[in-house]
Amino acid sequence: MKLVRYGARGAEKPGMIDADGALRDLSAHVSDIAGEVLVNLSALKDIDPATLPLVEGNPRYGACVGGTGKFICIGLNYADHAAESGLEVPPEPVIFAKYTSAICGPNDDIIIPRESEKTDWEVELGFVIGKKAKYVSEADAMDHVAGFCLINDVSERSYQIERSGQWSKGKSSDNFGPTGPWLVTPDEVGDFDNLGMWLDVNGERMQDGSSSTMVYRVPFLISYLSQFFTLHPGDIISTGTPPGVGLGFNPPKYLKAGDVVELGIDKLGTQKQTCVNDA
């Protein structure tokens, strides 16, 4: 299944994508793609999307999951990205928070913060927790995944690296977490360890990688994180990025107002964002 949330920000409705790629309204069956709905997605698998009302026009897509309590990111999780950053792959996953106020729709504007000079891009494979996970074994980890999604882990590098403290302040500005368009269930994704990933800025290919170069894989990450804190339905985990981020170029390349960012992952759809300066 491909599940979506669509409509005005803060008032999104649940939807499903049919076999022809059309948007169908799920409102008669669930109130949102969130919470307890994620615990029992199997109940939606019996619904024939063709029987649902067709949504006309081109409504805005919101983030593909609602009610997120934690947005957790994994740093330096691609061997080739660590190399371009001049850093060693860490002996354990690097964990940082992307605060939930950063979450936005897949095609919403990237808002460049005031005084920012180093706003950067990162195409990432994300997944959403569907069942409470605490002290989970790696063997059982995938039982706790509702689905996978595309994420742009937008980052302000001077805030992240040059201003001391934790990374989160460089990762959590408004609209720094475009998520979606779809939440795709694991059965439809298939081999999530071998998905092509790409990102363009103004039509120029910057990132062209694969989830196959990920160091710490999804089942391990779920087990690892669940040893430290409980994962709840709706929590988002973003698993790192392949090489080609702006920081990695010589000289570095960063986003400015008017730039257009497009990105995608096999089977998870695409995003397109325009960069604007914050008011």
Residue 236 lies in a domain: yes
Angle at 66 between CA 61 and CA 71, to 5 degrees: 105
Mean pLDDT of 15-33: 96
Mean pLDDT of 97-102: 96
Residue 239, domain CATH? 3.90.850.10
Residue 184 lies in a domain: yes
- Non-local (6+) Cβ contacts of 233 within 8 A are 34, 35, 36, 38, 39, 67, 129, 130, 131, 132, 146
For tokens 């049919």, the residue is 18
Structure confidence by residue, pLDDT tens digits, 233-270: 999 999 999 999 999 999 999 999 999 999 999 999 99
pTM of the predicted protein model:
0.96
Mean pLDDT of 195-203: 98
Alpha-carbon 55 to chain mean position: 24
87 pLDDT above the threshold of 80:
no
Residue 207 lies in a domain: yes
Domain count, the chain: 1
Residue 255 lies in a domain: yes
**Least confident window among 53-67, 84-98, 173-187:** 84-98
pLDDT tier at 100, thresholds 50, 70, 90: very high
Residue 29 lies in a domain: no
Q: Is 205 left (phi over 0), alpha (psi -120 to 50) or beta?
A: beta
Confidence at residue 15, expressed as pLDDT on a 0 to 100 scale: 98
Residue 23 lies in a domain: no
Mean pLDDT of 225-238: 98
Residue 24 lies in a domain: no
Please give the DSSP secondary-structure letter assigned to residue 60.
P
Mean pLDDT of the chain: 95
Between the CA of residue 14 and those of 154, 187, 264, what are the distances in Å? Answer: 25, 20, 22
Confidence at residue 2, expressed as pLDDT on a 0 to 100 scale: 97
Q: Which residues pair with 14 in a beta bridge?
A: 5
The range of the structural domain enclosing residue 259 comes to 65-277
Mean pLDDT of 127-155: 98
Residue 131 lies in a domain: yes
Confidence at residue 165, expressed as pLDDT on a 0 to 100 scale: 78
